[in-house]
Structure 1
Amino acid sequence: MPYNFDDEMIDEIREKNDIVDVISEYVDLTRTGSNYKGICPFHNEKTPSFMVSPNKQIFHCFGCGEGGNVITFIMKHLNMDFVDTLNLLASRVNIDIETKKTKRNKELEDRNKLLFNINKDSAKYFYENLQNNKKALSYIRERGIDESVIKSYGLGYALPDWSGLLEYLLHKGYKIKDIHSLGLIIQRKDKSGYFDRFRDRIIFPIINNRGSVVGFGGRIIEKNGQPKYLNSSDSPIFNKGYNLYGINILKKYARGKDVILVEGYMDVISLYKYGIRSSVASLGTSLTENQVKLIKRYGKDVYLCYDSDEAGKKATNRALEILKKEDVEAKVIVLKDAKDPDEFINKFGLERFYETMSNALPYMDFKIQLYKERHDLNISEGRIDFIKEIVTELKKIKSPVERDVYLDKISKETKVSKDSIKEELKYLPIRNYKDKYINKNNRDNNKDRIKPVINRLEPGYTIAEKNLLYLICKDKNIYESVKTQISPEDFITEEYKKIAERLYEYYENEEFLFKTFEKVLNDNLIGTLENIYNTQINIDASQKNKVLEDFIKTVKIKKLENKKVALKERLKEIDLMDSKSEGDVEKFKSICLQLINIDKELKLHQ
């Protein structure tokens, strides 16, 4: 959910919490000159490389690259989110957040009410357009959608006009800046004006669990080179990762019933048309933990019914992991002879859909089927690779009985003995271990605990690159801002650089859609992209620019540092020469000047 902390309050919390005082509660610090030094808590080291500056109120580790202010330290060290961190630090210095929030909350409430009204009037405008447009209404009727479904979901139509909605909303007395903040209009590249985001599209209003219109999705009627679907960008009242299409219907009709999670608007509507009131769709993104929490509030068991193509299977696999993380044991409805639930139920009817649903695969059965499709079990190499993948899933099963059942099944499938598979399982390394200490006393009490092997922690700059790519994927407006400050060549991590190159190129040609973008990548980059897109970072709208600047700065600093190291090596090479030509001397001077300029740039960024 959006945070209710304004910049002034955040600054006050940060300023009143001296970074040395805070960090010394978790790390033993020793004064060295004007700074403090200690053993870095973010990676294993014997020689202290973790520095804290009381003057700048920042920390930086020269070993792993982690850095930031007092807020980011607590977030990273205690694995806390932004809001909880601010609450903790405010409490530490006796700042009464609730009192300070009162005025801010009233302003925010009034602002949000205005934005909700803009969306509500926009939905009415789209609805009236549909009722009065023969082409759009004919398309809807051909899809088997009657008036009752149109009303239930508030379906509408965006005219082909470039500024129809904009003029309508201006006439209603709304301001351009507020309309633009909702992503309903887009500023022209030459900044000469604005135009409607949605044009000549069937409109699907996205309504939250409180019955308010928070955003829109639009589907083209005729192929015209535009993306098939277009969604509202995130706004002060809309975050895709916190909402689900159809959640208002699920809340109204299907509380406590089985929930069917699908991918598209038309999947939800077609199931509703046949009497299934308990389906919802994620909004053009991979399923998020917050969406799962929303489902758990209203539903019982969860069924995944995604597209039957390769991209749909990958999306199902990702969604299963998120659901499992939230302790939801979902089942997978496997569709045959149809590409998606919309086509399936219209082609075969409700009875066949329920029959298919009754044969849905549990988590482990789906994984076995998925990995069997990836590997040829008729050859030794295929069986070995299959077992290496599937044992990672077996490791997650807590029940000894359940694990033994699947060991039997896998043994029969692969013709490999259970004992051999158990041995493979036994030596599977433990991964993703995080040592969470709440305070220094707890750290001391846990000295003698045996710790699993800790995988290498990501350096700060790779985390920054990953988060930048994630945010660019989430919002084209962020891409427009970021591309002016950082290019694909500025990315240091080779895989991230390649993805950035394709992503920048992709955005210049069409709207970003994860499923279609994934198809333009090489196979070896798809896993990296999935990892990026499953990143979960929640940023208050008011803090977005600051956070982006921090990520960009981190990447730029690392690139400059790398360049500085390379230039110093070149200086050594020239310095070690027995005899130097005039050209070598000039190169030496040139490199020295470059190093001076790099130091100036680094100071500007620090």
Structure 2
Amino acid sequence: MSYYIDDDTIERVRSSNNIVDIVSEYLNLKRTGSNYVGICPFHSEKTPSFTVSDTKQFYHCFGCGEGGDVISFIMKKENLSFPEAVKFLADKVGIPLKEKGFKKNKELENKKAKLYEINREAARYFYKNLKANNQALFYLKQRAIDRRTATVFGLGFADRSWDSLYSYLTRKGYKEADIEKAGLIIKKKGKDGYYDRFRNRIIFPIIDTRGRVIAFGGRVIDSSNPKYLNSPETPVFSKGNNLFGLNILRKHSNIKKVVLVEGYMDVISLYSRGIDYTLASLGTAFTEQQAKYLKRYGDEVYLCYDSDVAGLKATDKALEILKKEGINAKVLPLPSGKDPDDFIKEEGKEKFEQLFDSSLSYIDFKIYFYKKQYNLNNLDEKIKFTKNVAKFLKRIKSPIEIDVYLDKISQETNISKEAIKKEIGRGYRNIDNRTISKDKYINTNYRYNKDKIIPVRSVLESGHLIAEKTIINLIFKDEKSFQKIKEHINPEDFMNYECRHLANYIYKSYEDNEELNKERLIEYLDDIVDVDLDKVLEILELDINASDENIDKIIQDLIETLISSKLKFERKKITEQIYNIDIKKEKDERDVEKLKQLCSELVEIDRKLKLHQ
């Protein structure tokens, strides 16, 4: 459903939802002075850098740079659009919103609402069937799933009949086309009529974070195939965009860790024995979108897939995806031939929780994974194993950690540490003795050119990037420069990846009255994915020949460069949006309103640009 939301209503919704209360529903906040701090829900970190201001009603993370008000927090946390987030918060405090009359959107929402309704009715039907079917109840008893757990997950049963669900839903008045669109029935080939997709199966309803039934999974209770059957992709369900158990997990306000497993039964079996922080992918390979969902829940992610070859390969792929999303996941190693369901039933909760103590880091798992694939008694395979592991050892930044792994691989293979170190290649360097390449950007001197102070360099680099690097260097070394610059520049104004993370660290350190030094900085950056420490150290080693007489002029020019560059970047984005709307052959009311808004923003940016030229 679309809504017309005027500015007054938006402000009313915003002011009626205290940001501290809303954020506290998702993470633990601790009061420090007038603010609240916690572990950031948007990136992986160990030290809390996520700050919420009760007085200013905004949040900011000094680790990843995310920030905004209560509406933007809900947009990011719940993956909602701006109107959806306003509606979400309005519902919390009972503020009604006016429906917006755009026919196409309304038709689409009505179609989706019908599918949600059909799925809900089907879930009720399956649930009642389970209670009445002794064979299905006996199967669950054999799998040690009690009635309480079955009720929590809304488990159901599809009987042997070819069309019992079809008959039930059509009697309820639902159209065949809609039931088919929901993925619950299949049209007979070359004949009239339909038959049920799920038959003689335990049914697992898949429920989204808003409590809507979006799809189903089914498992046979005999030896027939396929063992598992899932709903197809529908307008309300995409396998790669959802996780089984997410609706239950998100009810917890204090999620410290999340275990990711492969199957429905793994989640349910673990839950029934007290491991109630488990999710499963939905009959498909783990996806980047699922990783993004995981990022919002829990500080630690553990993979616990089946211990067979297929399970290990799936674990390896999932680890790579999680790492790409900035999640430093670990692996819970299961005995050979076991899956989580088997293990928890045979060993119990206490033994399962002991697996966390022996969990494997990213590198540890890579070594474990490759050892399973290669015969280390064979020379050729030993060399292949060592070369593969060396690729991942290059990623380690800590010299102590890499030395430990060199010892480990050397002992496993009887290959000397020096030989392995050479295989790792030029990427292996101790942090303490990193050699900083003295390239064209390091020695940046300043000279006057009429009224401007410009950097002298043999080859041109982006003026904006030069300004960012120079500002970082100045504020890292000189608090007086920081005090002058912070009045005009915020961490989120830095566009370079390394510069933005450096700015977050420096601003937070000054705010907390903490001493700035390279050792602490490197420790801080170690937790951030893809930060190039060579580039960081180059920035800090810049040689800026600025005297007391010209430092104020230098700072002013740097500020002007950053502000004007950011305005030009914003202007480019707006002109692209205007162009994309303008080339449409048919424009609706929203397009016209959006054009007005964008043109107004463009005028304002041009006005600001004139002030900074």
SS at match of 2:406: helix
Distance 2:263 2:253 in 1: 19
Corresponding residue for 1:251? 250
1:177 offset after TM fit, Å? 1.2
Corresponding residue for 2:139? 139
1:307 offset after TM fit, Å? 0.6
* Aligned pairs for 1:485-496 within 5 A: none
Distance 1:404 1:142 in 2: 49
SS at match of 1:235: coil
Distance 2:231 2:426 in 1: 47
Q: Which runs of 5+ in 1 are unaligned?
A: 1-83, 85-98, 429-443, 450-606
Distance 2:384 2:140 in 1: 47
Corresponding residue for 1:112? 112
SS at match of 2:296: helix
SS at match of 2:251: helix
Corresponding residue for 2:217? 217
1:416 offset after TM fit, Å? 1.8
* Aligned pairs for 1:133-172 within 5 A: 133-172=133-172
1:109 offset after TM fit, Å? 1.7
1:338 offset after TM fit, Å? 5.2
* Aligned pairs for 1:436-447 within 5 A: none
SS at match of 1:256: coil
1:417 offset after TM fit, Å? 2.2
1:141 offset after TM fit, Å? 1.7
* Aligned pairs for 1:103-502 within 5 A: 103-224=103-224, 226-253=225-252, 255-336=254-335, 339-426=338-425
SS at match of 1:307: coil
Distance 1:136 1:237 in 2: 28
* Aligned pairs for 1:516-555 within 5 A: none
CA contact (8 A) 1:337 1:344 kept: no
Corresponding residue for 1:469? none
Q: Which runs of 5+ in 2 are unaligned?
A: 1-80, 82-98, 428-459, 466-613
Corresponding residue for 2:61? none
Amino acid at match of 2:414: K
Distance 1:263 1:235 in 2: 22
SS at match of 1:361: coil
CA contact (8 A) 1:246 1:281 kept: yes
Distance 1:397 1:286 in 2: 27
Closer, same or farther: CA 142–379 of 1 in aligned 2, 3 Å: closer
Which structure has the larger Rg over C-alpha atoms? 2
CA displacement, residues 147-167 of structure 1 (integer Å, 9 cap, x when unaligned):
211110000000111111111
CA displacement, residues 551-597 of structure 1 (integer Å, 9 cap, x when unaligned):
xxxxxxxxxxxxxxxxxxxxxxxxxxxxxxxxxxxxxxxxxxxxxxx
CA contact (8 A) 1:250 1:277 kept: yes
SS at match of 1:160: coil
Distance 2:325 2:400 in 1: 22
Distance 2:403 2:324 in 1: 22
Closer, same or farther: CA 403–108 of 1 in aligned 2, 3 Å: farther
Closer, same or farther: CA 383–330 of 1 in aligned 2, 3 Å: same
1:256 offset after TM fit, Å? 2.6
1:415 offset after TM fit, Å? 2.0
- RMSD (Å) for aligned C-alpha atoms: 2.6
1:108 offset after TM fit, Å? 1.9
Closer, same or farther: CA 402–100 of 1 in aligned 2, 3 Å: farther
Distance 2:262 2:425 in 1: 37
Amino acid at match of 1:115: L
Distance 1:288 1:254 in 2: 25
CA displacement, residues 258-291 of structure 1 (integer Å, 9 cap, x when unaligned):
1010011111011111111100100111111111
Distance 2:287 2:308 in 1: 21
Closer, same or farther: CA 445–234 of 1 in aligned 2, 3 Å: farther
1:101 offset after TM fit, Å? 10
CA contact (8 A) 2:301 2:330 kept: yes
CA displacement, residues 463-486 of structure 1 (integer Å, 9 cap, x when unaligned):
xxxxxxxxxxxxxxxxxxxxxxxx
CA contact (8 A) 1:254 1:277 kept: no
CA contact (8 A) 1:254 1:278 kept: no
- Aligned-residue sequence identity (percent) comes to 54
Distance 2:154 2:134 in 1: 17
Corresponding residue for 1:497? none
Distance 2:280 2:338 in 1: 16
Distance 1:445 1:173 in 2: 68
CA contact (8 A) 1:338 1:344 kept: no
CA contact (8 A) 1:261 1:303 kept: yes
* Aligned pairs for 1:515-594 within 5 A: none
Closer, same or farther: CA 357–300 of 1 in aligned 2, 3 Å: same
Corresponding residue for 2:448? none
Distance 2:294 2:208 in 1: 12
Closer, same or farther: CA 411–100 of 1 in aligned 2, 3 Å: farther
1:337 offset after TM fit, Å? 5.7
Distance 1:337 1:390 in 2: 22
Amino acid at match of 1:112: K
Closer, same or farther: CA 314–104 of 1 in aligned 2, 3 Å: same
**TM-score under structure 1 length normalisation:** 0.53
1:373 offset after TM fit, Å? 1.8
Distance 1:391 1:116 in 2: 50
CA contact (8 A) 1:262 1:305 kept: yes
1:105 offset after TM fit, Å? 2.5
Distance 2:337 2:129 in 1: 32
1:172 offset after TM fit, Å? 1.3
1:377 offset after TM fit, Å? 2.0
Distance 2:101 2:240 in 1: 25
1:367 offset after TM fit, Å? 0.8
SS at match of 2:189: coil
Distance 2:103 2:298 in 1: 36
Distance 1:207 1:201 in 2: 18
